[in-house]
Amino acid sequence: MTGLGSLTGVRLVEGYRKGEFGPVEVTEEALRRAEEAQPAVNAFVRIDAEEALAQARRSAERWRRGEPAGLVDGVPVTVKDILLLRGGPTRKGSRAVPAQGRWDEDAPSVARLREHGAVFLGKTTTSEFGWKGVTDSPLTGVTRNPYDVTRTAGGSSGGAAAAVALGAGPLALGTDGGGSVRIPAAFCGVFALKPTYGRVPLYPASAFGTLAHVGPMTRDAADAALALDVIGGPDPRDWSGSAPVPGSFTDGLAGGVRGLRVAYSPTLGGQVAVRPAVAAAVRRAVERLAALGAYVEEADPDFADPVEAFQALWFAGAARVTQHFGPRQAELLDPGLREVRAAGARLSALDYLAAVDVRMDLGRRMGLFHRTYDVLVTPTLPLTAFEAGAEVPAGSGLRRWTGWTPFTYPFNMTQQPAASVPVGTDEDGLPVGLHLVAARHRDDLVLRTAHALYEAGAAGVAPPAP
């Protein structure tokens, strides 16, 4: 991938400032890539070409006057179809959500991007209500991997990850309740950050409660820092949002990793079977961190797999988000979602509170862990992308998507910042992700560590073929 479609958001803003190119030609290229890839990959619910070009022309005029609206003026972005984007429906991957309505409100993260002059290309695909770790739904069908269209893009922000990988905008907004920006980022060879819970305001509130985060999906860590500087501002509609942080995440990238205390846990203490190609790629990147001056020690966090507690919280959320549906609407749902909503509806309040207890203990354990270690490194996933249209890999014997995502969902339970960094490919040319986790409110450490890997040439993979 070369040309304007290969440039990061940081580089686009620099080019606009220097007059090397303009927002209109950049937007035209992003739209071309989106439209050409759509039949094979199915990353978009809707492409708003006319409106995007109108926004790009207004941005070009602002740059001509030397009066950009903000940090990402003229940068093409996409929005996952879980988040409100005014001017069109947000159906959340569901046939049970009608397209009719006013649709005149932006989600907080979308509103901040709009204030800063971003160009909105359209809405990207999601699994229904974001309920699983792959992206297919009864409404939009299967979203496929840009590296191999027979494989899944991951999910639930699969359309967002595929769009970034394809050059259809360098910045995408996704949501993550159990890995939903990190899983597809790992499968599609892009960067994704799940910020500390509350760092990016969310409205309307998620039925999955405080498991659900909003995060950027980008070409690299510098673009994610830029995005977080924009979307991390408070919004009065989010009752649980965090206070503003002093300074800039972008300015914090330059510190490097010298002296950083890194815990490397390749299998969470033998709890996870990781494919050899994934393990090797992650280990090489960890060795690069050590060469850059980080103190690296192989160490495992002190917790057993909290999958049962996570599923209690998650399935209860699935029941809640569909609770008001009558029998006719329920028949329209993804069959897997119908199963987990039924399981969630059978849970008692005491079952739910028992899962909350597990969550609180997990948070305590990780808080103590980070008194010793600044950053935890694991694989993002134990495998690379498997066949499209399936919730679990064929022949795995697994029942639900949580069976192959043991590195991601624990850190939604603890609300910690976590990122997936592309660090290589397997024998089939499919991307591998490295997972970075830091203590709550230390998003800066996650971004700085990832940025150091990019600067050292240890992160990033070759883009997919056209």
Active site residues: 80, 156, 180
> Dihedral angle at the C-alpha atoms of 107, 111, 113, 114, nearest 10 degrees?
130
Task: Answer for the pair 403, 119: CB distance below 8 angstroms, yes or no.
Answer: no
Instruction: Determine the distance from the C-alpha atom of residue 326 to the mean position of all C-alpha atoms in its chain, rounded to a whole number.
Output: 32
Q: What does the alpha-carbon distance between residue 187 and residue 169 come to, in Å, rounded to a whole number?
A: 18
At 101, list the tokens: 């309505």
